[in-house]
Amino acid sequence: MAANSRTLEIKVISAENLQLDRKPIKKNASVTVRTDTNSQFRTTGMDTEGGAYPRWNETLVLDLATHSKSITVEVQCKTSSSVRTIGTATIPASDFVGGYVPEGYLHFLSYRLRDHKGERNGIINISVSMEAQKMYAYASSTTWSNSTMGFPATGNKSFGSGVVTGVPVWYGVYQKDYCRPKSQYFVHKY
């Protein structure tokens, strides 16, 4: 995984009411998931028994660039002569990245599929989770008395390099003034 991307786990669960030429499909449906920023894609195996209601329950892993806006889910059906696209759904990255949920949260999502004419053609059911970024603590010295611990400071280069340490400080736990915050977070740069 590159530094400017994050690992995305997409479990393709099932689809509903898939049709080809306005007739329910009989078998051989698969799903391809691709990102919008590069040519990376993953494909499920073929469901040979589900007909218009296939089930895959397969997890696909992709690297999602930090500036990606969406992923595309495409359902295809293998016919006797070719592989035909049944429908696609473009899923905004904002549906599973950011917001008020923690990283690694498992989102269960269902999207309407659209055929090449833009008409409704079934529903795709997936779950998506973004792997939480790993954070590492660094120590600037091996002796405990002189060690500096924290996370490497990045971003603003005008202050130089160093280590940032945050220390939560609790005060006023038993105060009755509930309008004031009960904790402050002091950051000291070494």
Task: Kindly indicate the confidence band of residue 50, based on its pLDDT and cuts at 50, 70 and 90.
Answer: confident
Q: For residue 119, is pLDDT > 80?
A: yes
Percentage of the chain beyond pLDDT 90 is: 39
pLDDT at 9 over 60: yes
Q: What is the pLDDT of residue 79?
A: 86
Q: Tell me the per-residue pLDDT of 143-181, one tens digit each, with 9 for 90 and over.
A: 544 444 445 555 555 445 555 555 555 555 544 444 545
What is the rounded average pLDDT for all residues in the chain?
Answer: 77
Predicted pLDDT of residue 96: 85
What is the topology classification, in CATH, of domain 5-130? Immunoglobulin-like (2.60.40)
Residue with tokens 């997890």: 59
Would you say 96 and 109 are in contact if contact means Cβ atoms under 8 Å apart? yes
Question: Where in the chain are the domains?
Answer: 5-130
What is the mean pLDDT of the segment spanning 73-82?
A: 90
For range 111-125, the mean pLDDT: 93
- Amino acid identity at 141: S
More confident residue, 138 or 62: 62
Closest to 18 (Cα-Cα) out of 57, 47, 59: 47
* Tens of pLDDT, residues 92-111: 988 888 777 777 888 899 99
pLDDT band at 75 (very low <50, low <70, confident <90, very high): very high
Q: Work out the average pLDDT over 27-51.
A: 89
For 65-69, what is the mean pLDDT? 86
Tokens of 188: 């000291």
Asked whether residue 131 carries a pLDDT value surpassing 70, the answer given is yes
Confidence of residue 135 (pLDDT cuts 50, 70, 90): low
The order of strands in the sheet holding 107-114 is: 41-43, 29-35, 70-78, 83-92, 107-114, 120-130, 5-16, 55-65
Residue that is written with structure tokens 């660039």 in the block: 65
Higher per-residue pLDDT: 85 or 140: 85
Q: What are phi and psi of 27, to 5 degrees?
A: -170, -175
